[in-house]
Amino acid sequence: MEIKAVAASITEVPFGAVVVNLFEGVKEPGGATGAVDEALDGAITSLIADGEIKGKKGELTLIHTLGKLPSARVVIVGLGKQADFNAEVVREVTASSSRYLRKLGIAKGATITHGAGIGGLDPEASAQAMAEGAYLGLYTFKKYFSKKDDDAKTLDEFHLVEQDAAKLPALQAGIERGRIVAEAALLARDLVNEPASVMTPTKMSEVAQEVAQQHGLEVEILDTQRMEELGMGMLLAVAKGSHQPPKMIVLRYLGDPDNADNNLGLVGKGITFDSGGISLKSAGGMWEMKGDMSGAASVIGAMQAIAQLKPRLNVTAIAPCTENMPGGSAQRPGDVIKAMNGKTAEVDNTDAEGRLILADALSYARSLNLKRLVDVATLTGAISIALGDQAIGGFTNNQALYEKVAEAGAKAGERIWQLPMYPEYKDQIKSDIADVKNTGGRGAGSITAALFLAEFSEDTPWVHLDIAGTFMSSKEKGYKVKGATGTPVRTLVNLALDLGG
């Protein structure tokens, strides 16, 4: 789909449909919606008076123009209450209205720029949010259907119509940034939606190499031999049960080559399938564990966008990738393993494997002299109990860095909620035979997992994002579709842009 800004009046463009908007509680529409209403002899005002149009967020109303406008149909989308309006609303309503146009079979549509008028949003920010919403909301993953639908409906062109031609450069810039960021999130969605039989550690590394080649990133893939040389005993222990060789993906973007310390490390958990290992998971819902590499997918996707948006910052992404399988060589509960930084861990439960591979990844990141670290992982089921599917769990040893990450998430519409890391919780991961134990029992499971990771981030400013509740969506809503969400790619991109000035 192509999205572009055009200078015109929404009442003059000839498309299959045009989209206008309305805030909740408005009785007589103004602006572009008012102009459309006037051209339709007050049809919108009449429907408001009849209670058919209320302006509630996401509400969609279709009117056939019957020749009164060059476009055949008008769709009125509700923006909700004006006091609650923000860029996230723009993303959501653009996604739902775009899907609606596609459902109607409209190949070419147009819309006014939501929020750039009385909504109070900067035109460029509004255009970016609209582009993100449209691209994310129209996403499908139909690769494995045997029957190809040659008559599948597609929205091929979506025009942002603005009467003031002076705003076009800002709108087009916003559209372009929105496209880049959305496509990065869609890459992550694609990787997560693939079957684990396809998206192996080797395939993950091949995708990373393709991204690097296309966008001018440096790439390095550490194999088993190199991991052994570096002493990555925890990652290798998890990999032992699988026939698939592990890979450590390293992507580098040099946005400030003259200042090596101006850097950021993004670390993503890459368990391409998690059976639980010897501590085998129950069968119900195990299919979702093909997405246990969502953290790795998100940092690869983020690097694709960062390479194009070019912040003045050096960014390194590290993605340890392996399967967790119960093979004859698999690690066992009771084993003691050693990480790259020399610390040892007692394996209490082989299904707490993500923190083990991240331990070596964080140790490796510190060896590269990365000054700020953010790790992303589908780490604990406990975070879903605490926060459901509405927020990412956030943990940190550095409040200033956490605030920057949370702000980046807020701008992306990806909520992050901070949980405590009180030292008393560390008692739960004490081991009688090693430096630390890889589980701490049922209580505060997400917190004890984060405290385990803190043993390996050590004194480097670090934020841990537990996305186990948000990496997958069970239904279509706003710009999320059923399946992988691509969370938190856009947060990571925003963070890099904010830190890069």
Which two three-digit tokens encode residue 299?
Answer: 């940092």
Residue 397: phi and psi, rounded to 5, are: -110, 5
Q: At what angle do helices 123-137 and 168-193 cross, to 10 degrees?
A: 30
Q: Find the radius of gyration of the CA atoms of the chain.
A: 24
Which two three-digit tokens encode residue 86?
Answer: 């923000």
Which two three-digit tokens encode residue 40?
Answer: 């339709």
Alpha-carbon span 29 to 381, nearest angstrom:
47
Beta-carbon neighbour count of residue 342 at 10 Å? 10
Alpha-carbon span 397 to 394, nearest angstrom:
11
Alpha-carbon span 488 to 408, nearest angstrom:
10
By DSSP bridging, strand 2-7 and strand 416-418 are: unpaired
**So which residues are the catalytic ones?**
281, 355
Alpha-carbon span 270 to 251, nearest angstrom:
14
Beta-strand ranges (E) seen in 258-339 are: 263-268, 270-274, 314-324, 336-338
448 in Cβ contact with 428 (< 8 Å): yes
Which two three-digit tokens encode residue 137?
Answer: 């909301």
Alpha-carbon span 206 to 241, nearest angstrom:
22
299 in Cβ contact with 492 (< 8 Å): yes
* Class of residue 344 by CB neighbours under 10 A (exposed 0-12, middle 13-18, buried 19+): middle
